[in-house]
Amino acid sequence: MKDITLELIKNILAVDDTVSKDKADDILFACTQVRTETQKCRHLINAKEAMKIIGVSRPTLNGYRKKGFITQVVLSPRKVRFDEENVRHFAEKGIQGTKTDFCSVDNTL
């Protein structure tokens, strides 16, 4: 995504009264994710590291993944990783307003 496109989205969100501040932040985060994924490689972490960052057990981590709150990257049938930036964003924001249905990303390498 070009800088000008991101700037236009920021400006639109700033004047749109129907979009809450949290939702606007989530939209901008998703746009930044799309932008950074095309510009650089993601830093991938394993489930144990993700559980430590969020402070949850493996079943809870799997529940968050199944509900779409965090995104897994499938490297092989037995090897999955998580995008560290996505996990940290979830740990900071929590469940409220984290699920981004408006942006889908291909998570298979």
> Domain-by-domain residue ranges, the chain?
3-93
Q: What pLDDT, on the 0 to 100 scale, is given for residue 40?
A: 56
Q: What pLDDT, on the 0 to 100 scale, is given for residue 4?
A: 84
Q: What is the pLDDT of residues 52-102, one digit of tens each?
A: 999 999 999 999 999 989 988 888 888 999 999 899 999 988 766 454 443
Q: What is the pLDDT of residues 20-52, one digit of tens each?
A: 989 988 888 888 776 555 555 678 999 999 999
Q: What pLDDT, on the 0 to 100 scale, is given for residue 54?
A: 94
**Cα–Cα distance, 24 to 28 (Å, whole number):** 6
pTM for this entry: 0.52
**Cα–Cα distance, 61 to 33 (Å, whole number):** 21
**Cα–Cα distance, 21 to 83 (Å, whole number):** 24
Q: What pLDDT, on the 0 to 100 scale, is given for residue 60?
A: 94
Q: What pLDDT, on the 0 to 100 scale, is given for residue 29?
A: 84
Q: What pLDDT, on the 0 to 100 scale, is given for residue 44?
A: 92
